[in-house]
Amino acid sequence: MKFLNLMGIAAAGAVMLSGAQAATFYFGGNGGDLGKSETFVSGPDSVTAIAVNTEEPEAPSLHQTILGLGVTTGRGDIDQLDNIGDDEAIVLDFGALAQFDSITLSLAGFYDDIRIYGSNNAAVAAITSGGLSAITSISTLLASASGNGIEGFATIDLSGIASAYRYLIATIPGGSGDGFRVKYVTAEVSDVPVPAALPLLLSGIAGLGFASRRRKQA
């Protein structure tokens, strides 16, 4: 039982032990269509944004304006992160475990429904079918929110979430015609990339277990 408790403590503290500092990533610009993915940098940290269409065959592309990132499928949609014709998502891959502080959206109008998920399953960045359920089946719902204006900004507080995730997913429920852009994300990113963190964690746990057994034998 002690060994199991040590495992839980080590896992919960894996990110905090890295000494990570909060980084704010800004996704605004005048890039237009950026393609499937684009990497953004904040100080020593980086995050890769990935466009997802859960109802392909239309291939998604990130679409950037000064208001942030949306998704376009090249079919004359509104180039936001929307579900007009398709169910879209933006997956943010931090390359390591991260504690999320907040996400800020633009163009989040009245009654726009917003869903924010966390995941440690790399498959979430490669979804091409199955709709929203393809995301929810391998992710954890972190927040549900609604827009607050005609072209309003909505900042969603994620600081109370205890678990760390490599992937942050912004999407919307299917079928309602909602839309928004992702403008900022603030997160504390671990210094240890995943999966490199896993063997370190396991070897540390093994060492604690070995020391425990030696004390018992003594």
Mean pLDDT in consecutive groups of 10 residues from the start of the chain, 218 residues:
37 47 96 97 97 92 97 84 84 98 90 91 96 94 81 88 97 78 97 59 46 49
Query: Amino acid identity, residue 41?
Result: V
**Mutual orientation of helices 2-12 and 197-217 as an angle, nearest 10°?**
150
| 8 Å CB contact between 138 and 117 | no
For residue 112, the 8-state DSSP code is -
- Residue 115 has a pLDDT of 93
pTM: 0.80
Q: Which residues are within 8 A (CB) of 7 and not within 5 positions of it... i.e. 6 or more apart?
A: 205
| Cα-based torsion angle of the residue sequence 140, 142, 148, 151 in order, rounded to the nearest 10 degrees | -60
Domains and CATH numbers, the chain: 18-188 (2.60.120)
CA-nearest of 126, 109, 120, 8 to 59 is: 126
> Alpha-carbon torsion 154, 158, 159, 165, what sign?
negative
Tokens of 143: 């927040």
Integer Cα distance of 35 and 55 in angstroms: 17
Tokens of 165: 């995730």
- Residue 12 has a pLDDT of 43
- Residue 175 has a pLDDT of 60
| 8 Å CB contact between 83 and 177 | yes
Q: Which residues are within 8 A (CB) of 5 and not within 5 positions of it... i.e. 6 or more apart?
A: none
The b-or-e profile of 164-203 (16+ CB within 10 A means b, else e) is: bbbbbbbbbebeeebbbbbbbbbbbbbebebeebeeebee
